[in-house]
Amino acid sequence: MSAAATPLTMARLAGPWVKVVDFLRLLSGRPIGLVGLAGVIFFVLLAFVVPFFVPYDDKVNVTAIYEAPTLAHPLGTDSSGRDVWNQIINGGRDILLVGFLAAFFSTVIAVTFGSLAATVGGRLDTAILGITDIWLTIPHLPVLIVAAAVLNLSNLLYIAAILAVLGWASLLRQIRAQVLSLRERDYVEAARSLDLGLFHIIFREILPSMRSYIVIHFIFAMTGAIYAVAGLMLLGLVPLSGINWGLMLNLANVKGAIFFKDSIWYILSPILAIALFQLSLVWLSSALEDIFNPRLRSGG
Amino acid sequence: MLSVRHLSIDYLTRRGPVHSVRDVSFDLHKGETLAVIGESGSGKTTMAVSLVRLSPRAARITAGQILYRTAEGETIDVRGLGTDELRHYRWSELAMVFQAALNAFNPVITIWEQFHDTGQAHGYGSAKKIRQRADELLRLVHLEPDRMLRAYPHELSGGMRQRILIAMSLMLEPQVVVLDEPTTALDILTQRQIIDLLGNLKKRLGFSLVFISHDLSIAAELADRVITMYAGTVVERASVQDLFYRPRHPYSVGLLRAVPRVSGELGSVESIAGSPPDLIRLPPGCTYEPRCPLRIPECREAEPALLAVDLPDHDARCIRWQAVAEQVGSSEVPVAVKAAAS
Amino acid sequence: MSVRDVTLRGEPLIELDGVSRVYKTAAGTITAVDDVSLAFGKGEAMCIVGESGCGKTTAGRMLAGLLRPTKGRLIFEGNDVWKIKGRELASFRRAVQLVHQDPYASLNPLRTIYQTLSAPLYRHKKVRGHQAATASVTDLLQRVGLTPPGDFLVKYPHQLSGGQRQRVAIARALTVDPRVIVADEAVSMVDVSIRISLLNLLLKLRDDLGVTIVLITHDLAVARYFAQKGRIGVMYLGRVVELGRSEDVVGDAAHPYSAALIAAIPEADPTITRGKERVELRSAEIPSLLHLPSGCTFHPRCPLAEPGLCDVQVPVLQPLRDEREVACHVAVRERAPAAELLSASTGG
């Protein structure tokens, strides 16, 4: 019954909805991926939508320091008696945004130049590869620390840009290697002899078969960037105002929360938030790997 | 000697069970060479692999029996064998040479070590005894033992590797040898050597031979009897002369007409229209009906049984076999040539 | 009068002129193709036959302009292809299309049939707009026998059978109105029951569109069928050893190698195949491409080989009777095809 009904429902749905339904149907066969997707959606909503309803509240309350979870404070309170749950809600936006942007920039750089190097070859390839190799030898942490000291890192975009500039090189090498092998495929050779042009060959023939690869590396880049930015904040290198999960860790450290037994909820909350979000991303990416395979799409 | 009864095998996939082998029955007699011919997806390899119970995990035997009669006259139910019995059966009674095995030699050990490992695993005896046997077998397949045993697989040509595999399969003197696509991927002159070799070995050692192939010409060369498989089931069983000159199933006729020849008259060569059915959603009635030039409405009603035709020891899964017989006749002329004449 | 003059009638359309292709590997130098000259006329259907390692695929790729010869020239309509540049080179690339062996690898798995076929049409401004593109793609699908075309437009390659995919690959080649199609083992990976229909399709394109079609195959029966009224060239270890009309080559091979090959082929006919007269070779081993034999590369295996001649001098293609050419000292000297010489020696 349901098997017969599916094509009908599918046919009635227009354009992009078919793809969404198809995607969810495929994802539903992979519980880990479903949990991952739910986790990602949860954190995105938490970080970007919930703050509209639960505005940041930094009122200090010295009578309620390091409280255990209660109904009023589901995750307890911090060193100044502020609500940790409120901070978690309001502290996700910056972290997620920086992670996303950093991953986006570095992926764009890596994909563009990596595929160009592999497809065009010759001197361009040698030049791009040379720069990449030099870049790879630059140690990240010192550069980040120096950059944080020299530049005004209060702008999120700057942090994302710096992380991206530091992070593209290894991905570029991987993308280039992938494109090099895909370039030898018969259908790419056919595209070349049909004179379909470089743009078509890269963006229509080669990169689409790397979708899953790129998305998965994008997700990994994002997890990397999130850890990097959280680390920067923990070290206090980013003079950010407001609140975010990294800053929470930094404050917990600075205010000596790690020396109190009662502060466990305060310390664990941002760590868990980051870890769970990252876990969701990784789970989602592992399920995506299967789904991007068109052979599994509505049968042959 | 070997008797397969109503064997059915499903493959479990995401889309549902693939009915890869359906109701396959045949007998193999002592000293006989049986060819199983069919195209990709006909179930021939799945069926062959099940004879040694080496089917992949997703495959399930859903019905049927595989009965094997030993030299002592004992009948073994292959489906019911335990692990140890199965190991004994696999090499000492019925040995199988896979097509994939050509590339599946362990690349880092010498041919001698392969022989030695196989001999030991089956308790053949001391290294000296195994060595003697290896020498004997390699000479049997016209290879120089000293040179071969020292070699690594990559140093040998495809034809040599195929001959070594055949030699190894004979180590424990099996009564039945099953070969999967024995000459595919080999050059013509090498193919010829393997075919001649198989013919000679059989004559000398007297084992029975089953080979699985999509190549009709190897069946024409070697087989005594031929079974044609289509969409997972046997559509025709006949002697080799019958099958090539007096087929009674439209698919066998189509297949024969689809293969051009190098010698003799080319005749009227023609492909079969359409493509094989989806093995998950089989058409009602005869599975060949959608492609069959002789179809009538009754063909859609039920899948026909294997029916005895006008020739002895010959059956076809076709209710229209008389119409086929009328078209093809009984003379010893290739089907394509007859078609050109009519 | 050489074969070329007889069969080509006029100037050749495309020509390999003394091409060689040498690969340098860690183990040494491999000569995949050695001084091959082949010319193809407009609208010709020709076959190049040989076993693995004979250089037929390398020759085909050089013919399609996908591989640069180490030596020699590729000539198309009188121009040396590897000397032209820019727009002219691009137009050559489109004029010669290769159909690959593996229909599972030659179509982009992520693109629908419509996308695959419409891209070249848009790119080369043969159509404008979705409607015109759909009409053109529909025509193409019909031309290659994929009917009804509507069923195929939105399908992905994995939803098609091997034979159907190969038809799509042929349709894709047709999008750029090629003058030459090089089909490299184009039927060897599809089921035997439908091979003939693919060959018929190629022959029909030749008849309808006047395209030159060069089929490269290891299967002599396929070659015989495809080149029924055309020529077959037989290659062995990088050289063309025999060139002639299909029925002559198959019925009465001029070169001892082709004769041995034909005698060895198993046939789908029990009486013929079991009664075949064998040609006994002196050695079963195929020499390594790294250490090619001196003189005629077939001499260590050849039953007609004469010491002092065949192991010293490299034979070149020379005319024999019946519009055929052969690279064999003995056959040329005796003015007889090797098949006759061999059966005379076993018969007498």
**Model confidence over C292-327: pLDDT tens digits?**
899 999 999 999 999 999 999 999 999 987 788 999
d(CA C28, nearest CA chain A) in Å: 24
pLDDT over 80 at A78, yes or no: no
Neighbours of C291 (CB within 10 A): 7
Helices (H), A121-258: 122-137, 140-150, 156-183, 186-193, 198-200, 211-234, 245-254
Does residue B290 have a cis peptide bond before it, meaning omega lies within 30 degrees of 0? no
Q: What is the pLDDT of residue B87?
A: 84
Least CB–CB distance from A187: residue in C66, C93, C107: C107
C54-58, C86-90, C110-114, C192-196: the lowest-pLDDT one:
C86-90
Per the CB < 8 Å rule, is C97 touching A204? no
- Chain B residues within 8 A of A299 when measuring between CB atoms: 15
Least CB–CB distance from A196: residue in C110, C120, C158: C120
What percent of chain C lies above the pLDDT cut of 70? 96
Evaluate whether B228 touches B243 at the Cβ level (below 8 Å).
yes
pLDDT over 80 at A67, yes or no: no
Q: What is the mean pLDDT of residues B321-338?
A: 89
- Chain C residues within 8 A of A204 when measuring between CB atoms: 111, 119
d(CA A298, nearest CA chain B) in Å: 9
pLDDT over 50 at C2, yes or no: no
Least CB–CB distance from C267: residue in B187, B189, B217: B217
- Chain B residues within 8 A of C197 when measuring between CB atoms: 270-271, 273
Q: What is the pLDDT of residue C5?
A: 40
Evaluate whether A98 touches A104 at the Cβ level (below 8 Å).
no
What three-state secondary structure class fits B61? strand
Does A55 lie at the interface with B, CB-CB under 8 angstroms? no
Query: What does the alpha-carbon distance between residue B201 and residue B179 come to, in Å, rounded to a whole number?
Result: 14
Does C194 lie at the interface with B, CB-CB under 8 angstroms? yes
pLDDT in tens, A95-138: 888 899 999 999 999 999 999 999 988 899 999 999 999 988 88
Residues near B235 by beta carbon (within 8 Å), at least 6 away in sequence: B228, B229, B249, B251, B252, B288, B316, B317, B318
Per the CB < 8 Å rule, is C272 touching B263? yes
Subunits adjacent to chain A (3 or more Cβ pairs under 8 Å)? B, C
Q: What is the mean pLDDT of residues C235-244?
A: 94
Instruction: Write the single-letter amino acid at A173.
Output: R
Of C120, C113, C114, C142, the closest CA to residue C208 belongs to: C142
Residue A173 pairs in a beta bridge with none
Q: How confident is the model at residue C288 (pLDDT cuts 50, 70, 90)?
A: confident
Per the CB < 8 Å rule, is A195 touching C176? yes
- Chain B residues within 8 A of C193 when measuring between CB atoms: 39, 254-255, 258, 271-272
What three-state secondary structure class fits A148? helix
Evaluate whether A35 touches A283 at the Cβ level (below 8 Å).
yes
Least CB–CB distance from C119: residue in A196, A211, A300: A196
Interface of A with C in 185-244 (CB under 8 A): 185-187, 189-197, 200, 204-205, 208-209, 211
**Pairing relationship of beta strands B307-308 and B233-239 according to DSSP bridges:** unpaired
- Chain C residues within 8 A of A207 when measuring between CB atoms: none
Chain B positions contacting chain A at CB under 8 Å are 14-15
Evaluate whether A83 touches A61 at the Cβ level (below 8 Å).
no
Least CB–CB distance from C106: residue in A190, A192, A300: A190
**Pairing relationship of beta strands C28-40 and C14-25 according to DSSP bridges:** antiparallel
Q: What is the mean pLDDT of residues C315-341?
A: 89
- Chain B residues within 8 A of A29 when measuring between CB atoms: 14
Long-range own/partner contacts, residues A23-32 (CB < 8 A, 24 or more apart): A23/A291, A26/A290, A26/A291, A26/A296, A26/A297, A27/A287, A27/A291, A29/B14, A30/A287, A30/A290, A30/A291, A32/A283, A32/A286, A32/A287
- Chain C residues within 8 A of A200 when measuring between CB atoms: 119, 123
Describe the strand order of the beta sheet including C45-49 as a list of residue ranges: C96-99, C180-184, C212-217, C45-49, C231-236, C239-245, C324-326, C318-320
Q: What is the pLDDT of residue B104?
A: 66
Q: What is the pLDDT of residue A231?
A: 82
Q: How confident is the model at residue A153 (pLDDT cuts 50, 70, 90)?
A: low
Per the CB < 8 Å rule, is C228 touching B266? yes
pLDDT in tens, A246-283: 778 877 777 766 666 767 777 788 888 888 998 999 88
Helices (H), B229-334: 240-245, 250-258, 321-328
Tell me the DSSP string of C36-101.
EEEEE-TT-EEEEE--TTSSHHHHHHHHTTSS--SEEEEEETTEEGGG--HHHHHHHHHHEEEE-S
pLDDT in tens, C96-155: 999 999 988 999 998 999 999 999 999 999 999 999 999 999 999 999 999 899 999 999
pLDDT over 50 at A300, yes or no: no
Q: What is the pLDDT of residue A298?
A: 42
How close are the terminal C-alpha atoms of chain B, in Å?
42
Per the CB < 8 Å rule, is C193 touching B191? no
Query: What does the alpha-carbon distance between residue B152 and residue B280 come to, in Å, rounded to a whole number?
Result: 43
d(CA C108, nearest CA chain A) in Å: 6
Query: What does the alpha-carbon distance between residue C346 and residue C348 come to, in Å, rounded to a whole number?
Result: 6
**Pairing relationship of beta strands B59-69 and B75-77 according to DSSP bridges:** antiparallel
Q: Using CA atoms in the order A95, A96, A97, A101, what is the torsion angle rounded to 10 degrees?
A: 110
Q: What is the mean pLDDT of residues A78-89?
A: 78
The C-alpha angle with vertex B47 and arms to B45 and B52, in degrees rounded to 5, equals 95
pLDDT over 60 at A13, yes or no: no
pLDDT in tens, C60-87: 999 999 999 999 999 999 899 999 988 8
Neighbours of C262 (CB within 10 A): 22
Q: What is the pLDDT of residue A11?
A: 42
Backbone angles phi, psi at B63, to 5 degrees: -160, 165
Evaluate whether C181 touches C173 at the Cβ level (below 8 Å).
yes
* Rounded-to-5 percentages of helix, strand, coil across chain B: 40, 20, 40
Evaluate whether A246 touches A270 at the Cβ level (below 8 Å).
yes
Distances in whole angstroms, Cα of residue C288 to Cα of each of B194, C27, C167, C258: 21, 11, 36, 19
Q: What is the pLDDT of residue C1?
A: 37
What does the mean pLDDT of chain B come to? 88
Query: What does the alpha-carbon distance between residue B190 and residue C284 come to, in Å, rounded to a whole number?
Result: 8
d(CA C295, nearest CA chain B) in Å: 22
Query: What does the alpha-carbon distance between residue B274 and residue B263 come to, in Å, rounded to a whole number?
Result: 28
pLDDT over 50 at B212, yes or no: yes
Evaluate whether B154 touches B108 at the Cβ level (below 8 Å).
no
Pick the residue of B189, B239, B257, B280 with the most C CBs within 10 A to test the interface with C by mutation: B189
Q: What is the pLDDT of residue C81?
A: 93
Query: What does the alpha-carbon distance between residue B158 and residue B139 come to, in Å, rounded to a whole number?
Result: 18
Q: What is the mean pLDDT of residues B283-311?
A: 93
pLDDT in tens, B146-166: 888 988 888 888 888 888 888
pLDDT in tens, C194-216: 999 999 999 999 999 999 999 99
Query: What does the alpha-carbon distance between residue C136 and residue C118 come to, in Å, rounded to a whole number?
Result: 8
- The secondary structure element, H or E, covering residue B238 is strand B233-239
Q: Write the secondary structure of A197-230 as one string of H (helix), E (strand) and C (coil).
A: CHHHHHHHHHHHHHHHHHHHHHHHHHHHHHHHHH
Evaluate whether B217 touches C273 at the Cβ level (below 8 Å).
yes
Q: Which residue of B has its CA nearest to C267?
A: B217
Q: What is the mean pLDDT of residues A38-67?
A: 81
Q: Which residue of C has its CA nearest to B244?
A: C269
pLDDT in tens, B161-205: 888 888 888 888 899 999 988 887 788 888 888 898 888 898 888
Q: How confident is the model at residue B103 (pLDDT cuts 50, 70, 90)?
A: low
pLDDT over 90 at B51, yes or no: no
Q: What is the pLDDT of residue C340?
A: 86
Instruction: Write the single-letter amino acid at A284.
Output: L
Query: What does the alpha-carbon distance between residue C222 and residue C331 come to, in Å, rounded to a whole number?
Result: 26
How close are the terminal C-alpha atoms of chain A, in Å?
20
Does C196 lie at the interface with B, CB-CB under 8 angstroms? yes
Query: What does the alpha-carbon distance between residue B182 and residue B170 come to, in Å, rounded to a whole number?
Result: 15
Does C164 lie at the interface with B, CB-CB under 8 angstroms? yes
Q: What is the mean pLDDT of residues B87-110?
A: 79
Q: What is the mean pLDDT of residues A295-299?
A: 47
Query: What does the alpha-carbon distance between residue B301 and residue A26 come to, in Å, rounded to a whole number?
Result: 37
Number of inter-chain CB pairs under 8 A, A vs B: 3
Query: What does the alpha-carbon distance between residue B69 and residue B93 come to, in Å, rounded to a whole number?
Result: 9
Query: What does the alpha-carbon distance between residue B219 and residue C313 come to, in Å, rounded to a whole number?
Result: 42
Which is more confident, A88 or B259?
A: B259
Pick the residue of C51, C158, C185, C273 with the most B CBs within 10 A to test the interface with B by mutation: C273
pLDDT over 70 at A55, yes or no: yes
- Residue B92 DSSP one-character state: I
Q: What is the mean pLDDT of residues C281-291?
A: 83
A68-77, B23-32, C168-177: the lowest-pLDDT one:
A68-77
- Chain A residues within 8 A of C176 when measuring between CB atoms: 194-195
Of C157, C126, C125, the closest CA to residue C140 belongs to: C126
d(CA A200, nearest CA chain C) in Å: 9
**Pairing relationship of beta strands C324-326 and C318-320 according to DSSP bridges:** antiparallel
What percent of chain C lies above the pLDDT cut of 90? 68
Q: What is the mean pLDDT of residues C261-286?
A: 86
A33-37, B73-77, B93-97, C7-11: the lowest-pLDDT one:
C7-11
- Chain C residues within 8 A of B40 when measuring between CB atoms: 162, 191
Instruction: Write the single-letter amino acid at C175.
Output: T
Q: What is the pLDDT of residue A14?
A: 53
pLDDT over 70 at B322, yes or no: yes
Evaluate whether A286 touches A33 at the Cβ level (below 8 Å).
yes
Evaluate whether B90 touches B172 at the Cβ level (below 8 Å).
no
d(CA C262, nearest CA chain B) in Å: 7
Q: Which residue of A has its CA nearest to B14?
A: A296
Neighbours of C202 (CB within 10 A): 20
B53-57, C10-14, C125-129, C277-281: the lowest-pLDDT one:
B53-57
Q: How confident is the model at residue C6 (pLDDT cuts 50, 70, 90)?
A: very low
- The secondary structure element, H or E, covering residue C345 is helix C338-347
Q: How confident is the model at residue A143 (pLDDT cuts 50, 70, 90)?
A: confident
Per the CB < 8 Å rule, is C193 touching B39? yes
d(CA B20, nearest CA chain A) in Å: 16
A3-7, A242-246, B76-80: the lowest-pLDDT one:
A3-7
B50-54, C271-275, C292-296: the lowest-pLDDT one:
B50-54
Least CB–CB distance from A186: residue in C105, C124, C156: C105
Q: What tokens appear for B291 in the block? A: 């492609």
**Pairing relationship of beta strands C180-184 and C96-99 according to DSSP bridges:** parallel
